[in-house]
Structure 1
């Protein structure tokens, strides 16, 4: 995995003394609560069943009893013609008994009613069996039968069937299904929204576990973004036509998950339907010499903010970062791109590392394919295509990678260039104010765009599946997606002199063919970086559109973020395994509040702050502590004894 300087992460906004601390010593040390588009923070606080959106007792036009239906039937046909009145009454009584949840009474057999020659009259008979809240679902269908007494050769009648009487299926199973869907309590709001609380489980695994426990297709669930495994997270989720009572079974059957805070909503959540996340983080075993040193660093962070770098997660965990793949693709170096993708990370299983190394040395793709696990999607796509089409099919092999992964490589390269440009901007001009020629998007303008997005989300009728994401660091809704709706403003000399704009308004472009660049020395930095890599934003060195500048319109990203709601406190403790944070589950369970010694031998820092989507919590921690954010460095940290 790359270090920070390899991907352009080089500058700081503050000059406080560095110190180290252990992040996620316990998974409860890292809590994430999702913030929806309306600013509501997801918390699990209750398991209450919401009030039904409409009364489900019965429809106004439904008949109130079996006797009332039979009487209405006799009235429609006339006493002489309604020869099946008594049989109908018996059928309805049996159906009513069958509906009783505690009853084992079977469903009645289908009943063919009297012949009804008149079409309008038949329509009225059909209507008798609609919306009978006291009966199970009944269906009616037209039937023809012979007239055994002479006259018309074929008579038109109606057959009434209880939906649980299909002989091909289990009556108990059919009964359970219609009981669950018979009266959906949300009325026109067909989705159940709920808070999903999970501990040390990633979002995908959580949804699959719920689906398995409830015997549902996982596609009934939707989330706005994925959350990390190593932590305690609460996020909003929706389920299509699943009742709260059914979903509550999860709390007793699936470990490490709890659901609650139910409400009925008209739409499913979609990927990106969130404003950001609220973080509650504990750093343990601090190396700082005093609490004053730690508090000074936290205060400086709150005052000056931190650089909004793309964190290391953006660039993957392999020994060759994803932006190197993107660079090779943009340059048309197909074999180099394949080599970068197929080069494994240092913690790969030995048999996989050996198989990929043999392939890269000219070995058979089939042999490597037999070893690689199915979660290595890009690698398996390449090997499968080369095995079928031959070693020369490098472009086909790269195009066989799913589109979202292909574009991830290009986006990673854009992110690398952006990081490098930001480091140069801070190095040259500081992180205190904007200058002439800078590009700005005021935070108020950005908030208006997000509010418009929230309004659009509540009126849209589209249901989409959520997928992917960069876990707790939130790649769920990249800020640059707003580029089309938010046009940056070019700062004039007069505006810079009058300090009209704040440093938090400053944006820099992600390189692309449809963005503005600053009108100062920073524009030259982009040109220099791209020329060094042999890449142009105006022309391509190859003819493969999918890997060219044509798919790079670009975007904008704010340079700094100030966590204005940052709260912090220095804690003392004696036992390195002591819990230093309470979760929503602890509060619901009535767990007592933490009591810590005033003069404990260990030092910890407790942080609480909110971040918008696509802003990395690891970059805030980096600014605060000045310690590297690589996995390798974190593994070297040991809690003091």
Structure 2
């Protein structure tokens, strides 16, 4: 728990007295920063509310409330209180070691036992802790210190890093300089179209009737026909032409252009086909934000390209490209969308690719910090020099009582009904509307009537229910109505769960040195291959397996590599597994779930997992830190890009403030979770419910 005011005053100097020496001995004033891959924490028992659109107020959290705890405790129809389930589960698992079953397991049998407690349609499953998803080990044995992560979403900033190493910032909402207009073609200048036909074409264009057309006699000579097509295209933007044959006559048919053709025709020459812009968002998910932008522009989300998803609970900046959408239209969104700003517009020839990023720059503020200056310095120095275990963080598995990897397991088992029910079933922690909607479906199984009971933002549930309403009992068909990104989210979560478990066992049993049979992908080789999967906090860049092929370490080469070159595979049909005892761990973990790690192909392509590789230990780059004293726990300690553009200033720091905050910056490769670096620093659980319990108001 956070220490007293006296403790922090005596043990930590003010920022005015404190600077950090760089490795070369120079003094660096350490400010700013940004952060990306984790959606945890929040503020508990806050009463202040602010209007921030669909993102909610900054005081809102993924809270595990006292009311929720009380509700869980009442679910005792089977004689086991939910407060005791965790302990009894732990006891049961521990006792299984007596008969040769490892305690690493979060067993399917335990999950099944808990899931059966549904007399009132509410599962007694608790929201996951780190140990539930295989996150158990640390790099250093240093003691941690206390601090609260994401007490405010303004405490977590994320800025994408471009391929050239520059950090992406929102600095302007100005439009790019316009290109000179092409000279307008006058009808009198037309050489190949008669005045009568030109008048008909003008009337057709004015009518905008896509069912009407005008027929023009076509010259026999191909070059002459081409000239007619070209002149009509120049003189009448919005019309399209095609040569047709009617009997023995060759004609040119002219019609109103289709929507896509119109888009292609009207885009000015001399500019790239894609508009690239910086997307700034606050307290919103990347995919939801792109969906909102697309909806307001009347476009499909698939027209937008971005490298990966950024944290929901934070202030983030990333690049986006979109095909032939004018920056004027994009800029107009700034007037109508809350907590979303677009700017830094430019034209480019190609869309963003999944490999178009070198990672993310994080600025993190830990509030209510306690611990001695020596502890803080030692922890930051260890994180800088030794790094952290590259676990998939808690946001990979969701913050609700039914983790994403449980659904992914059912999908890989091709148990479509279970997967659908896990998504739709009642669970603890829902608000009143969601709880009522889930309860109605669970008790009636009336999918059609249930759809409108779910809020609009529950698009996964509503998509599944629409499928079930159309074809009852077709659970696979219903699940296929969910967007591909979200379908992949679940199976990727299961891959991540297995990887975490095996990685913990590897570190626990064999330490942090390479061993014969390990898989090696040197960091310089991996840099160009560590890419987010096709688009997702959660979905895309969070998995991002390396696609390079590994080398199996032997006795002759073991001295050439360090633990930072060692990778472990994500289970998949194209993955190579370590040539040592670790391969057996994959078999053991997945057999308990009825799955075969050597057979990851499925009849349905989306659930055929190729696999990939992930470094087990990562060192952050460009690390810096500083301490702040502050009084107001609800005021910002750092400024985001948009804060700077608005001219905001900080007024929450003083030399004698009652609370202490640690601000630090670091850069991480794609798919690495900053929360796992923070976990290494603090030596505490980064799950949202635990962090909520630490909040100071």
Fold conserved between structures, TM > 0.5: yes
Partner in structure 1 of residue 86 of structure 2: none
Partner in structure 2 of residue 494 of structure 1: 556
Q: Could you tell me whether the CA contact under 8 Å between 1:365 and 1:386 is conserved in 2? A: no
1:344-374 Cα distance to aligned partner (Å, 9 max, x none): 43112456546656876xx441179626526
Q: Could you tell me whether the CA contact under 8 Å between 1:34 and 1:278 is conserved in 2? A: yes
Q: Could you tell me whether the CA contact under 8 Å between 2:218 and 2:225 is conserved in 1? A: no
For residues 599 and 192 of structure 1, the distance between their equivalents in structure 2, rounded to whole angstroms, comes to 48
Query: What's the offset of the Cα at 1:57?
Result: 4.2
1:565-617 Cα distance to aligned partner (Å, 9 max, x none): 22211112233233211222233344457683233221111121222222212
For residues 181 and 395 of structure 2, the distance between their equivalents in structure 1, rounded to whole angstroms, comes to 50
Q: Could you tell me whether the CA contact under 8 Å between 1:315 and 1:323 is conserved in 2? A: yes
For residues 537 and 329 of structure 1, the distance between their equivalents in structure 2, rounded to whole angstroms, comes to 15
Partner in structure 2 of residue 628 of structure 1: 685
- Structure 1 stretch displaced more, 237-246 or 258-267: 237-246
Query: Could you list the runs of 5+ residues in structure 2 that have no partner in the other structure?
Result: 1-126, 209-213, 244-248
Gap change, CA 1:232 and 1:396, over 3 Å in 2: closer
Gap change, CA 1:389 and 1:281, over 3 Å in 2: same
Gap change, CA 1:597 and 1:387, over 3 Å in 2: same
Gap change, CA 1:547 and 1:15, over 3 Å in 2: farther
1:150-178 Cα distance to aligned partner (Å, 9 max, x none): xxxxx9999999x9xx9xxxxxxx9xx99
For residues 483 and 330 of structure 2, the distance between their equivalents in structure 1, rounded to whole angstroms, comes to 33
For residues 242 and 480 of structure 2, the distance between their equivalents in structure 1, rounded to whole angstroms, comes to 53
Partner in structure 1 of residue 499 of structure 2: 418
1:595-634 matched pairs, under 5 angstroms: 596-634=653-691
1:518-572 Cα distance to aligned partner (Å, 9 max, x none): 23332333333334444433469xxx94489992443221101100222211112
Gap change, CA 1:534 and 1:293, over 3 Å in 2: same
1:294 aligned counterpart, secondary structure: helix
Q: Could you tell me whether the CA contact under 8 Å between 1:538 and 1:549 is conserved in 2? A: no
The TM-score, its normalising length taken from structure 2, stands at 0.66
Partner in structure 2 of residue 584 of structure 1: 641
Structure index of larger Rg: 1
Partner in structure 2 of residue 171 of structure 1: none
1:479 maps to 2:560: no
1:479 aligned counterpart, secondary structure: coil
Gap change, CA 1:295 and 1:405, over 3 Å in 2: same
Aligned match of 2:390 in 308, 313, 319? 308
Query: What's the offset of the Cα at 1:284?
Result: 1.3
Partner in structure 2 of residue 244 of structure 1: 327
Gap change, CA 1:425 and 1:185, over 3 Å in 2: same
1:173-322 matched pairs, under 5 angstroms: 184-185=267-268, 187=270, 189-211=272-294, 220-269=303-352, 273-286=356-369, 288-322=370-404
For residues 338 and 182 of structure 1, the distance between their equivalents in structure 2, rounded to whole angstroms, comes to 44
Matched residues, number: 559
The TM-score, its normalising length taken from structure 1, stands at 0.71
1:6 maps to 2:136: no
Query: What's the offset of the Cα at 1:39?
Result: 3.7
1:282 aligned counterpart, secondary structure: strand
- Structure 1 stretch displaced more, 419-428 or 224-233: 224-233
Partner in structure 2 of residue 427 of structure 1: 508
For residues 166 and 277 of structure 2, the distance between their equivalents in structure 1, rounded to whole angstroms, comes to 13
1:14 aligned counterpart, secondary structure: coil
1:575 maps to 2:632: yes
1:92-241 matched pairs, under 5 angstroms: 126=228, 184-185=267-268, 187=270, 189-211=272-294, 220-241=303-324
1:80-99 matched pairs, under 5 angstroms: none
Partner in structure 2 of residue 100 of structure 1: none
1:470 maps to 2:470: no
1:568 aligned counterpart, secondary structure: strand
Partner in structure 1 of residue 570 of structure 2: 510
1:33 aligned counterpart, secondary structure: strand
Partner in structure 1 of residue 405 of structure 2: 323
Query: Could you list the runs of 5+ residues in structure 1 that have no partner in the other structure?
Result: 96-105, 143-154, 167-173, 455-463
Partner in structure 1 of residue 35 of structure 2: none
Partner in structure 1 of residue 102 of structure 2: none
RMSD, aligned α-carbons:
5.0
1:542-557 matched pairs, under 5 angstroms: 545-546=602-603, 551-557=608-614
Partner in structure 2 of residue 460 of structure 1: none
